Amino acid sequence: MRMKQVRDLMGMTITVEVIDSSVMEEDIDEVFAYFVDVEKRFSYFRKDSEVTLINQGRIAENQWSKGMKTIIKLAEKTKKETDGYFDITLHDGELNPSGLVKGWAIHNAAKLLLKKGFENFYVEAGGDIQVHGLNAKGHPWRVGVKNPFEQTQIVKVVSIKDRGIATSGTYIRGQHIYNPFNRSEALTDIVSLSVIGPDILEADRFATAAFAMGKKGISFIEGLYGFEGFMIDKNRIGTETSGFKNYNILNDEH
């Protein structure tokens, strides 16, 4: 049995698909309920979120939730691992963890499904994806990478199993990623960077940092063990890491 649901949450489209004869609607509902809770807690734009209350000085550090402490600790770790190119602290000192929260939330949603005993599923939020097991045809999941200049076109199709793929770019949401070392300069050299990693949390956090690095971001991904990437620059030229071809499918057959 295949059950798939698509809902708009967290300012994006979220898709959950489970391939299992025992899956029930309540299982899918629980995953979406988790995403709702994440939005309430971590949204930088909600007036009542925990992040907003922290930024307003209304919640002391010793009152932070367990999830918030986890995100802040992970952000600090990522900042060190990327030589400062990942930074959730804005110029005014406020925290905006949205560059980390999406991948973390998808990762935790996948763990919810695994805990329920499901082995074949797909969770996507805003283009970032975690897959596990096989699709409805019994094959590894196939994911398309969009052409940032013409989003109805797919420029790459990758085949992945038990992995995550995240894409950072400015072609949908505009300049929402910045170089922490030059915050006022718009990132224009590259328009998209897709990263395949051992899970979506890892892929997402490094995709964000690598995009902030500009053209040298693809070299950063090349140097990460267990990761592959595909970058498209402003001149419509694609550059991929040496092992990306191992996931790339030549034909676009779904």
Torsion, Cα 97 101 102 104, to 10 degrees, reads 150
* Positions of E strands within the chain: 2-9, 12-19, 121-125, 128-132, 141-147, 150-160, 164-169, 190-197, 228-233, 238-240, 248-249
The domain made up of 2-249 has a fold known as T-fold (3.10.520)
Kindly state the average pLDDT of the residues 45-70.
94
**Per-residue confidence (pLDDT) for residue 253, from 0 to 100:** 43
Q: Is the pLDDT of residue 254 over 50?
A: no
Average pLDDT, the chain: 91
User: Burial level of 62, CB count in 10 A (0-12/13-18/19+)?
Assistant: exposed
Residue in 99, 185, 129 with CA at minimum distance from that of residue 13 = 129
Q: Is the pLDDT of residue 75 over 90?
A: yes
**Per-residue confidence (pLDDT) for residue 175, from 0 to 100:** 47
Choice among 6-15, 86-95, 162-171, 178-187 with the minimum mean pLDDT: 178-187
Place of tokens 């698909």: 17
Quick one: pLDDT band at residue 252, thresholds 50, 70, 90? very low
Quick one: pLDDT band at residue 92, thresholds 50, 70, 90? confident
Q: How far apart are CA 66 and CA 191, in angstroms?
A: 35
Quick one: pLDDT band at residue 10, thresholds 50, 70, 90? confident
Beta pairing partners, 7:
14
Quick one: pLDDT band at residue 250, thresholds 50, 70, 90? low
pLDDT, tens digit, 9 for 90 and up, residues 120-160:
999 999 999 999 999 999 999 999 999 989 988 999 999 99
193 neighbors 231 (Cβ within 8 angstroms): yes
